[in-house]
A and B are shown apart, each in its own frame.
Chain A
C-alpha cells in the first residue's frame, strides 16, 4: 500500500481523518485545560501572598 493510498482511505479520507483529527483535538484539550488551570492557580496564589 502506498502512502497516497493510505491517506485516501478508499475515498473516505474526509470522514475518517476529520474523525481522527477532532478526537485528537478534544483529547488534547482534556490535558491542556487542567494543566493550564493548575499553572494559573499557582500564579494567582503567589500573587495573593505578595
Chain B
C-alpha cells in the first residue's frame, strides 16, 4: 500500500509539473487547455473502470467468485467519481472555449448516461439486502450497459459533435505535441494508480461488512483491539 501511494504521488507531481509548468500554452486555446491533464485521464478512467466493473461482474456471475463481486461493486463509486470529474471539467473547459457549459451532443450525452449507469449500479446494490443476489443484479446491469462504452468512444466519429475528435488514440501519429502528450500520459498512469489505491480501500470495507460474521473477522477484531 505505501509504495502504491508513493508511485501515485511521484507520477502526479511529475505530470502536473510537466502539464502546468513545462508544457507551452496552446496556440489557439492559451492556458485553458491545461484542463486536459485531468479531463482526458478522467474520461479514460471512466471507461476503463466501467469495463473492469463489467468484467469482474461477469466473473462473479459465472464462477461465483466473491472477490470478483467485491471488485465490481467497489469500482462503481470510483468510476462514478471519474465520470463526474470528466463531465464537470469538460463543462469548465467548454464555457471559455465553446461559449457554453453544456450541449446535448453525442459525446457529452453518452458520458452523462455512463454516470447514470454507475449511479444505477450503486443504487441497485444498496436496494438488495442479500449482497450475493445484489452482486448478480449489478453484474447484469453493468453488462447491459457495456453497449454504451463503444458509443462513447466512437461518438465523435459517428456523429457531428461539438466535442473534438480524438488526438491521442488514433491509428495515425497523435496530433498533439510531445511536450503536451507526455504529461498527459503520465497523468493517465497516475490516475490508474489512484484507482488501485481507492479500490483497495473500498474493497477492504466491503469485505469486512460482508464477512462480519465469519470467524476470521471476529478473530481479527479480538486481536486488533
On whether the two chains bind one another, the answer is yes
A residues apposed to B, CB below 8 Å: 1, 6, 9-12, 15-16, 18-20, 22-23, 26-27, 29-31, 33-35, 37-38, 41-42, 45-46, 49
Asked if B105 CB lies within 8 Å of chain A CBs, one says: no
Asked if B119 CB lies within 8 Å of chain A CBs, one says: no
Mark out the residues of chain B between 52 and 74 whose CB falls within 8 Å of any chain A CB in the assembled complex: none
Residues of A within 8 Å of B148, CB to CB, are none
Given contacts A15-B95, A18-B92, A27-B194, contact A38 B204 (CB under 8 A): yes
Instruction: Tell me the bound Cα distance from A23 to B83 in angstroms.
Output: 11
B residues apposed to A, CB below 8 Å: 20-21, 25, 30-32, 34-35, 38-39, 42, 77-78, 81, 84-85, 88-89, 92-93, 95-96, 194, 197-198, 201-202, 204-205, 208-209, 212, 221, 224-225
- The smallest beta-carbon distance between B54 and chain A, in angstroms, is 20
Residues of B within 8 Å of A11, CB to CB, are 30-31
Instruction: Tell me the bound Cα distance from A31 to B204 in angstroms.
Output: 12
By the criterion CB–CB under 8 Å, are A34 and B201 in contact? yes
Main secondary structure of the interface of A (DSSP, over half): helix
Tell me which of A15, A31, A42 contacts B198 (CB under 8 A).
Answer: A31
Given contacts A34-B202, A41-B205, A41-B209, contact A10 B30 (CB under 8 A): yes
Shortest beta-carbon contacts, A-B, top 9: A10-B31, A12-B32, A34-B201, A9-B31, A10-B30, A19-B89, A30-B198, A38-B205, A15-B92
By the criterion CB–CB under 8 Å, are B77 and A30 in contact? yes
Residues of A within 8 Å of B204, CB to CB, are 34, 38
Tell me which of A6, A16, A27, A42 contacts B224 (CB under 8 A).
Answer: A42
By the criterion CB–CB under 8 Å, are B32 and A15 in contact? yes
Residues of A within 8 Å of B92, CB to CB, are 15, 18-19
Instruction: Tell me the bound Cα distance from A41 to B35 in angstroms.
Output: 38
Given contacts A23-B42, A41-B208, A42-B225, contact A15 B197 (CB under 8 A): no
Instruction: Tell me the bound Cα distance from A42 to B95 in angstroms.
Output: 46
Given contacts A30-B81, A35-B201, contact A16 B209 (CB under 8 A): no
By the criterion CB–CB under 8 Å, are A10 and B25 in contact? yes
- The smallest beta-carbon distance between B31 and chain A, in angstroms, is 4
**A22 nearest in chain B by CB position:** B88
Instruction: Tell me the bound Cα distance from A33 to B201 in angstroms.
Output: 9
Most buried by B among A10, A15, A33: A15
By the criterion CB–CB under 8 Å, are A37 and B205 in contact? yes
**B26 nearest in chain A by CB position:** A10
- The smallest beta-carbon distance between A13 and chain B, in angstroms, is 9
Instruction: Tell me the bound Cα distance from A42 to B208 in angstroms.
Output: 9
